[in-house]
Amino acid sequence: MAASSNDTVQQLQKIVDDAYAKFKGVQEGKNADYIPYLATVPSELFGLAIVTADGQEVTAGDVDYSFAIESISKPFTMAMVMEEQGLDAVYEKIGVEPTGMPFNSILAIELNPKRSINPLVNAGAIASVSMLEAKDADERWQKILDGYSAYAGEPLKLINDVYVSEAETNYRNRAIANLLYAYDRLYSDPMEANDVYTKQCSVGVTARQLAMMGATLANGGVNPKTGKRVLREDYVDEVLAVMLMAGFYDESGEWAYRTGLPGKTGVGGGIVAVVPGQLAIVGFSPRLNEAGNSVRAMKAIQYIGEQLKDNIFFDCAR
């Protein structure tokens, strides 16, 4: 069914409105506080956005609030490394195995022979940053910001307060970067890579912008708004495969079991999930569960996925 028909958009709007009403009252979880800025984000914010592969947008709630992309940045940097250096480079120089452990686990680095493990945990994400071809930190950062903006189809910006807050407190990520470097699994200066990684996590996105980024993946690597190809079509499946296996850290198996949707979460409270060929679903709400995943966003996206399966997109949501 063409995602663009008016009927389809109306059905999607009803599903999103229902999900918003159903989960708005959920109070479980709490804001991330290991990054001081994130503890100050109003906990009640809740936004849902869908963008279809042909660029239709359906929203409910706080979809214009700019929040920190955090770990949702990771698959996009991974995709940029694939685009630049091919699939084997990511497989060989980082790895693609899920860890079953928290996103900033140091034990996982010690236990896994590839060390960096996969591009969606902090170790592999800092390694992705270090792999991008750049003459210095500024060029590396600019490349990342331009790359994300191409996925969003509009210029994105750093939230400087997030960056300062995270840079002052990211001792654990500094340890991870140094450890990887000692294992020869980081490919630029470790503190430089870590700093650019901290900046990439501090990029601001609204639920609408993030849904457009996801819709670019749903649309085979072409941004639905600008019509520009951002990622080679034959790399999209690999990006989604890593998201399905590792996008929710130690909850990735449960998420895949319950939804069948490749997705990625961030401690800023955002989650993007992709229905390949059809659309992207974004949930944003700051309260997180133990694994660092937004409680309301998980529930809402799971519900929306079930409704799509039972209604219009049943042939492809699973």
Residues found near ligand GLN in the complex (CB under 6 A): 70-71, 103-104, 122, 166, 173, 201, 266-267, 292
* Residue closer to ligand GLN (CB basis): 52 or 122: 122
Least distance to ligand GLN, CB of residue 158, Å = 13
* Residue closer to ligand GLN (CB basis): 103 or 303: 103
* Residue closer to ligand GLN (CB basis): 256 or 312: 256
Least distance to ligand GLN, CB of residue 8, Å = 32
Indicate the residue whose CB is closest to ligand GLN.
Answer: 71
Least distance to ligand GLN, CB of residue 35, Å = 7
Least distance to ligand GLN, CB of residue 33, Å = 12
Q: Three-class SS string for the chain?
A: CCCCCHHHHHHHHHHHHHHHHHHCCCCCCECCCCCHHHHCCCCCCCEEEEEECCCCEEEEECCCCCEECHHHHHHHHHHHHHHHHCHHHHHHHCCCCCCCCCCCCCHHHHHCCCCCCCCCCHHHHHHHHHHCCCCCHHHHHHHHHHHHHHHHCCCCEECHHHHHHHHCCCHHHHHHHHHHHHCCCCCCCHHHHHHHHHHHHCEEECHHHHHHHHHHHHCCCECCCCCCECCCHHHHHHHHHHHHHHCCHHHHHHHHHHHCCCEEECCCCEEEEEECCCEEEEEECCCECCCCCEHHHHHHHHHHHHHHHHCCCCCCCC
Least distance to ligand GLN, CB of residue 267, Å = 4
* Residue closer to ligand GLN (CB basis): 301 or 317: 301
Least distance to ligand GLN, CB of residue 204, Å = 13
* Residue closer to ligand GLN (CB basis): 103 or 313: 103
* Residue closer to ligand GLN (CB basis): 21 or 107: 107
